[in-house]
A and B are shown apart, each in its own frame.
Chain A
Amino acid sequence: MIQFQLNGTLTEAQVRSGTTLFDFLREKGFFSVKYGSDKGETGADTVLVDGKIMNASLILIHTLEGKYIETVESFSHGQDIHPLQDAFIEEGAIQCGYCTPGMVLAIESLAREKENPTESDVKDVLAGVYCRCTGYVKPVIAATNYLTTKNAK
């Protein structure tokens, strides 16, 4: 049995050896983590593991003992949403929205890791989240607005 923190809740996973974090999360109803491909390139399956973005479908559960996992479900409580989510809505950075949770997690990880990230840092973290709708124009604007406001505080 493996124990880890999932969105702040101690979670026990008793699963088969080949189970990925993706399988586990979808089964448990964390639907913000999505299928895009089997090899992680699309990043629709992005989660945070100890604050770092990773592809849930490339992580076997047994490697997660004691880790801290976050999905976008933990970023909002009712109408109370994360300012980055708000920036995405405000800037029109969401079209179909399938990649949005992955983008939000990627940008949030950057915000936590770096004090004054540049636009090229933003594009770098979004390279692992494929989006076929937006051309990344508005997501980059939303991210930049969020990061600038955050740093100004």
Chain B
Amino acid sequence: MWYSINKIIKPDSLKEAYSLQNKTRVLFSGGSYLVAEKNPSIQSLIDINDLVGHGVTASMEGIHIDAGATLQTFLDTVESINSECRLLKGIKYSCPSKQIRNQRTFGGEIGKGRPNSEIMVFLHAVNAELTVIMETEKTVSIRDWNGDGIITKISYFPNQIDGIELERFSVLDSAPALVIVGAIKSGDHFEFSIGGSSGTIQTFSCRIEEWSENKNLAWAKEAVNAFVANHFGSLEYKEKLIATALQRVGETL
């Protein structure tokens, strides 16, 4: 029971939903994060489930994920295209529980913006494009999005990507990763995104011929500043993990 909730609001449009938000009224789609936390200062939920799509369309021109699509719907789509996809396993770990994957939406996952979510690190690596509704609709890169607005669609474009890799280091497969590194090869560039037990997801890119072990070490040194030390690793150790992950994904690409 989420005691503090006294009202479910069903707005007529996303614009209306956007305007209704305040500290005690929040957007609600899948609800897996919100209901788990049961924040007592929230009193009303603005349910946008009927206003967002729930599907995933995939073609070579682009993968388009509706904000209301669940993580599992996306995984099933990827699997139907390529069941051997190595990524599939990696991004599944964003949420090892299929129960929760069946409920958690893409919009919710991005809205939450967990840096230890493999899906988030992946979307940063491919620099997914978000369609966002505020007063007006606009598109914004996930790396640039400031959290304002209601996401309606997430798109990325495999034909611009020559290779994708994801490396994660976690104590157990089911445990949140200490370090997650996503990487793509696109034309003459590598792009890397780094998440994990970190305050934010960071991205780095360089021309392929400039990529080197020293560059990885320098990036790792920079990236680790956003990380936190915990009982499974000091910052010094996490810096090493980031460098190793960068090296591995780069070499595989």
Q: Are A40 and B97 in contact (CB-based, < 8 A)?
A: yes
Residues of A within 8 A of B3 (CB): 18
Q: What DSSP secondary structure best describes chain A's contact surface?
A: mixed
CB distance from B179 to the nearest CB of A (A): 21
Name the residue on A nearest B35 (C-beta): A58
Task: Count residues on chain A whose CB falls below 8 Å from chain B CBs.
Answer: 28
CB distance from A130 to the nearest CB of B (A): 9
Known: A20-B1, A41-B97, A43-B97. A59 touches B103 (CB 8 A): yes
**In the assembled complex, B4 has its CB within 8 A of some CB on chain A:** yes
Residues of B within 8 A of A59 (CB): 31, 35, 103
CB distance from A57 to the nearest CB of B (A): 7
Within 8 Å by CB of A62, from B6, B8, B32, lies B8
Near B by CB (< 8 A), chain A positions 44-94 give: 46, 49, 52-55, 57-60, 62-63
**In the assembled complex, B98 has its CB within 8 A of some CB on chain A:** yes
Q: Are A58 and B6 in contact (CB-based, < 8 A)?
A: no
**In the assembled complex, B25 has its CB within 8 A of some CB on chain A:** no
**In the assembled complex, B159 has its CB within 8 A of some CB on chain A:** no
A-B contact count, CB below 8 Å? 82
Q: Are B1 and A55 in contact (CB-based, < 8 A)?
A: no
Q: Are B98 and A17 in contact (CB-based, < 8 A)?
A: no
**In the assembled complex, B41 has its CB within 8 A of some CB on chain A:** no
Near A by CB (< 8 A), chain B positions 1-29 give: 1-8
**In the assembled complex, B36 has its CB within 8 A of some CB on chain A:** yes
CB distance from A149 to the nearest CB of B (A): 23
Q: Are A128 and B98 in contact (CB-based, < 8 A)?
A: yes
Q: Are A53 and B47 in contact (CB-based, < 8 A)?
A: no
Near B by CB (< 8 A), chain A positions 13-27 give: 16-20, 23
CB distance from A51 to the nearest CB of B (A): 10
**In the assembled complex, A125 has its CB within 8 A of some CB on chain B:** yes
Residues of A within 8 A of B38 (CB): 18, 38
Known: A62-B47, A127-B174. A17 touches B35 (CB 8 A): no
Residues of B within 8 A of A23 (CB): 1
Q: Are A57 and B98 in contact (CB-based, < 8 A)?
A: no
A23 and B72 alpha carbons, distance in the complex (Å): 25
Binding site for A on B (CB under 8 A): 1-8, 31-32, 35-36, 38, 45, 47, 49, 72, 92, 96-100, 102-103, 174
Please name 28 pairs of A and B residues whose Cβ atoms are closer than 8 Å in the assembled complex, sorted by A.
Answer: A16-B1, A16-B6, A17-B6, A18-B3, A20-B2, A38-B38, A40-B32, A40-B100, A49-B102, A52-B102, A53-B102, A54-B103, A55-B100, A58-B32, A58-B35, A58-B99, A58-B103, A59-B103, A60-B35, A60-B45, A63-B31, A63-B47, A63-B49, A106-B98, A106-B99, A125-B98, A128-B96, A128-B98
Binding site for B on A (CB under 8 A): 16-20, 23, 38-41, 43, 46, 49, 52-55, 57-60, 62-63, 106, 124-125, 127-128
> What are the 6 tightest A-B residue pairs by CB atom distance, in nearest-first order?
A128-B97, A18-B2, A18-B5, A39-B36, A128-B99, A127-B96
